[in-house]
Amino acid sequence: MNVKSIKTPIKLKGSVFTTLVLYICSNNINLINNALKKKVQESPNFFHKAPIILNLSLLPKNSDWIKIQKVIFSNEFLIIGVSECNDLTLKKKILNSGLPIFSNKENFIHKNNKILDKKMRKSVLYHHTIRSGQTIYAKESDLILINNANKGSELIADGNIHVYGQLSGRALAGAHGDYTRKIFCQYLEAELLSISGEYCLIDSIPKDILNKPAQIYFKNHSIHIKKL
């Protein structure tokens, strides 16, 4: 009797995803609502139904979680989890609302940037075009692309990112929390640029730098974009 092999109905794999982190610094619902509306108006296509993680490290005590959750949903953001919640009572309310609470490793990462530098591997080199929907991750190394990164693509590196072509997708350098990492490209038209989680959108790119060689780096608490 032949027994056919049964394929498993599920697979669980590790992967790399980039997610926006929303810091809630006030418990004034009207202020939160107005700030979210303004942010969506800046780039409606990018923020519409965007998945986010809420960071509650700056949230005042005795805040109304239900109202905060509702106002975020009303602006069509999708909350996929919460981080840095130190209030035990609030934690219970969040878990009861069906959201997970993530452990935060950011402080650990910043303290160990020197260790990460020592572990940096040989640069990851790509010669082909990175197409829409593709994500390339250079773990503990720089990412070098000798071609174009199309719209909808995503380049992620723990180190620096070099694109010797057109950068039209997303580029995220210093993915493990290193603010000293940079992004370089020959033709800048990126949907999103990020250094260690700090980001800017295409609307923030100066017009005189669009489609020109550029470098992107982090300094004085903000992203800077300059011509090469």
Residue 41 φ/ψ, nearest 5 degrees: -65, -30
What is the pLDDT at residue 1?
45
Please calculate the CA angle 150-137-149 and round it to the nearest 5 degrees: 10
Residue 6 has a pLDDT of 54
Q: What is the mean pLDDT of residues 39-60?
A: 86
Domain locations along the chain? 20-104, 112-227
Look over the chain and give the mean of its residue pLDDT values, rounded to a whole number.
86
Classify residue 147 by its DSSP letter.
S
Q: Band the pLDDT of 94: cuts 50, 70, 90.
A: very high
Find out whether 193 and 216 touch, Cβ atoms under 8 Å: yes
* 76 Rama class: left (phi>0) / alpha (psi -120 to 50) / beta: left
Q: Where are the beta strands (DSSP E) in 40-153?
A: 51-55, 78-83, 101-102, 124-126, 135-138, 143-145
- Please say if the pLDDT value at position 44 is more than 90: no
For residue 56, CA distances in Å to 114, 165, 190 come to 28, 39, 29
**pLDDT attached to residue 28:** 95
CA terminus-to-terminus distance, the chain: 70
- Structure-block tokens of residue 26: 């006030």
Bigger pLDDT: 37 vs 4: 37
Report the pLDDT value the prediction gives residue 39, as an integer from 0 to 100.
86
pLDDT tens-place string over residues 126-166: 999 999 989 999 988 999 999 999 998 999 999 999 999 99
Task: Return the CATH number of the domain spanning residue range 112-227.
Answer: 2.160.20.70
Could you give the CA distance from residue 119 to residue 142 in angstroms, rounded to a whole number?
Answer: 12
pLDDT of residue 42: 79
For the segment 40-65, the average pLDDT, to the nearest whole number, is: 87
Looking at domain 20-104, its CATH superfamily turns out to be ACT domain (3.30.70.260)
The pLDDT of residue 108 is 46
